[in-house]
Amino acid sequence: MKLLISNDDGIFSQGVRTLANTLATAGHTITVVCPDRERSATGHGLTLHKPIRADQVKGVFDPSIEAWACSGTPSDCVKLALGALMPSPPDVVVSGINHGSNLGTDVLYSGTVSAAMEGTIEGLPGIALSLASFSYQEFQPAANFARSLLDRLKHQPLPSPTLLNINIPPVPEEAIAGVMITRQGLRRYFDMFEKRVDPRGKTYYWLAGEIMEDVPQPPLEFVGTSQNQLQADDLAWISTAETDVNAIRRNYITVTPLQYNLTCASGMITLKALNLNLD
């Protein structure tokens, strides 16, 4: 398969190097386009008011891999790759392996997920991979899972538009409990702004935060349509699916299908009842 790989940790991160080299060894054709520095938590930001630069990178990846360092955001990297750097579209856009989890509502801020979502917006399958720890350094189990997943997707492509948000527990491969299909959960943080003073005497603030543990997970909002072609047992299974936040604690690889349509169905029903027509 032809793969475009990006990330938000930067072109020289261990995670993207492990992922790209593993997939190249498996026979895939790889193009890597990543930010030239860490661009974590940039969400789906785009660079509109200054030029984007891209330079080829040699000697970092497997020799078969074409790699570029981009001055922009993760979303810029994918847009630039699809619009200018690649002669033809890839089969899949893969983002990661991120150093740190992207669980629950993290996906709204994540540059890793946004890079993969950029591919989905363009009609391409997207996969975001994250290692659920900032300190654990063993990325190979995550790369091995990506290789296995892509082998399966060659024969059973994802429906469009679908993005797979995957988190891998930070444990040795033999300690992984299995793979669980999950729904997006909820994560909350204690946000703290530390007030500091720079050498020139000017005040600035440094955002820090701690994860709130044991946050109750919300029910799944799901809209069934004729296009879903789901049976009653499918709907029952989906409604009881575990969240990614809970499953990762039990050392499962979590695979959460996402989409870019954020429409709130219950909100539409509420608004309908309000009769918002102008009188």
Residue 59: pLDDT over 90: yes
Q: How confident is the model at residue 231 (pLDDT cuts 50, 70, 90)?
A: confident
What mean pLDDT do residues 12-34 have? 98
Q: Which of 259, 218, 211 is nearest to 101 (CA)?
A: 211
Of the candidates 160, 183, 202, the residue with the CA atom closest to the CA atom of residue 246: 183
d(CA 57, CA 67): 5
User: What are the structure tokens assigned to 13, written together?
Assistant: 């991160």
Q: What is the rounded CA–CA span in Å between residue 252 and residue 255?
A: 9
Of the two residues 42 and 21, the one the predictor is more confident about is 21
pLDDT of 220 higher than 90 = no
What pLDDT, in 10s, does the model give residues 133-185? 999 999 999 999 999 999 999 999 888 888 999 999 999 999 999 999 999 98
Tell me what the pLDDT averaged over the chain comes to.
Answer: 90
Tokens 């943080």 locate to 189
Q: How, if at all, do strands 2-6 and 126-131 pair?
A: unpaired
Least confident span in 14-28, 33-47, 80-94: 33-47
pTM higher than 0.85 for the full model? yes
Which tokens go with 6?
């990006």
Give the pLDDT confidence score for residue 159 in this predicted structure.
Answer: 83
Q: Is 12 left (phi over 0), alpha (psi -120 to 50) or beta?
A: alpha
The domains found in the chain, sorted by start residue, are 2-183+242-261 (3.40.1210.10)
- With cut-offs at 50, 70 and 90, classify the pLDDT of residue 210: low
Compare 63 and 241 and report the one with higher pLDDT: 63
In the sheet that 2-6 helps form, which strands lie side by side, from edge to edge? 54-56, 66-70, 29-35, 2-6, 92-99, 126-131, 163-168, 252-258, 178-181
Residues 6+ apart with CB under 8 A from 159: none
Q: Is the pLDDT of residue 227 over 60?
A: no
pLDDT digits (tens, 9 = 90+) for 77-132: 999 999 999 999 999 999 999 999 999 989 999 999 999 999 999 999 999 999 99
